Amino acid sequence: MPVLCYQITGATTPNARSTTGALDGQLSAILKCDHAEANAQVYSELAANRLAAFLGIPVVIGVPAVDAQGESPVRFAALRAAEAGLNFYDFTSDDHGDPDECAVYDTPPLPAGVLLSAGHLRAVQSLCEKYPLQTAAIAVFDLWIGNNDRAFNFKAQLAARERGVIFALDQGSSLLACHAEVGDSLRELENAGFPSFHPFQKLVNARYCGAMVERISSMPDWAVQAATTYDDTVGNVTLDEQYATYGALLARKQFLGGLVDRVLL
């Protein structure tokens, strides 16, 4: 699969100390912060991003960020993909079609059990057919981290005959941000039936879903711990809450296969 590149903004200048021709420059990013509806959004984005990187899930890269003076609250900076000339289908845009009409009158009919409310139904079907490995990986990962807000949060090249770039963005409603309060989110992560839906449900490849369940189940505990725990408070999330997240993810490994069977297949 082609490399996903990120957008350079503004002018670049030679780095005065470089002996290899390096330049000083800036990357475009979307800055996310904790807020009333997701008190742990920054931590959840950061932890989900690290987990995804270890597992090879195609999500945009993000990093923790503060202002130049170091005085602002920590934010999660999701790098903006360089989309110029790549002809992405924008699943993040609103779909104004009638999902019931699509399901009833289109030929061939959509599979039974698809999520009609997700929008872009035919495009999502095409996405899962063109990128079966990646869509299965994203869907299983979302169920593991408790992300029930994947709809409209991915983009891909659909028009070209060859497979191109696909990426997911925005894990800000997962882990400790699947509810507004951390305590409610932790209780939800204990729920073996959560999430109960996904925009790729009934469209993904069962074999690839099983492979991703196995990959997550075999992910070393030390790697899960490294992705979810830090030496300090992250945003509003304290150390004990970070370790509670680590424990919840280990527990979710045990029922992930059953959840995938019920929701996705």
Closest by CA to 165, choosing from 6, 55, 52, 26, is: 6
**Inside any domain, residue 49:** yes
**Inside any domain, residue 76:** yes
Give the pLDDT score at 163: 76
Written as one letter, the residue type at 118 is A
**Inside any domain, residue 14:** no
Calculate the CA dihedral of residues 10, 14, 16, 20 and round it to 10 degrees. 130
Q: Are 38 and 50 in contact (CB under 8 A)?
A: no
Number of compact structural domains in the chain: 1
**Inside any domain, residue 16:** no
The phi, psi pair for 37, rounded to 5°, reads: -85, -10
**Inside any domain, residue 96:** yes
This model's pTM is above 0.85: yes
**Inside any domain, residue 189:** yes
Instruction: Output the tens digit of pLDDT for each of the chain's 265 residues.
Output: 688 999 999 899 999 999 999 999 999 999 999 999 999 999 999 999 999 999 999 999 999 999 988 788 999 999 999 988 888 888 877 655 544 444 444 557 788 999 988 778 888 999 999 999 999 999 999 999 999 888 778 899 988 777 789 999 889 999 999 999 999 999 999 999 999 999 999 999 999 999 999 999 999 999 999 999 998 999 999 999 999 999 999 999 999 999 999 999 9
Give the pLDDT score at 106: 54
Q: Are 77 and 61 in contact (CB under 8 A)?
A: no
Residue 82, domain extent: 25-263
Written as one letter, the residue type at 143 is L
Q: 23 has which bridge partners?
A: 14
Closest by CA to 38, choosing from 48, 28, 51, 27, is: 48
Sequence-distant (≥ 6) Cβ neighbours of residue 33 within 8 angstroms: 41, 42, 73, 75, 76, 235
Give the pLDDT score at 218: 98
The phi, psi pair for 149, rounded to 5°, reads: -135, 45
Q: Which two tokens stand for residue 248?
A: 């919840």
**Inside any domain, residue 2:** no
CA distance 8 to 72: 23
**Inside any domain, residue 8:** no
CA distance 67 to 84: 28
Give the pLDDT score at 97: 54
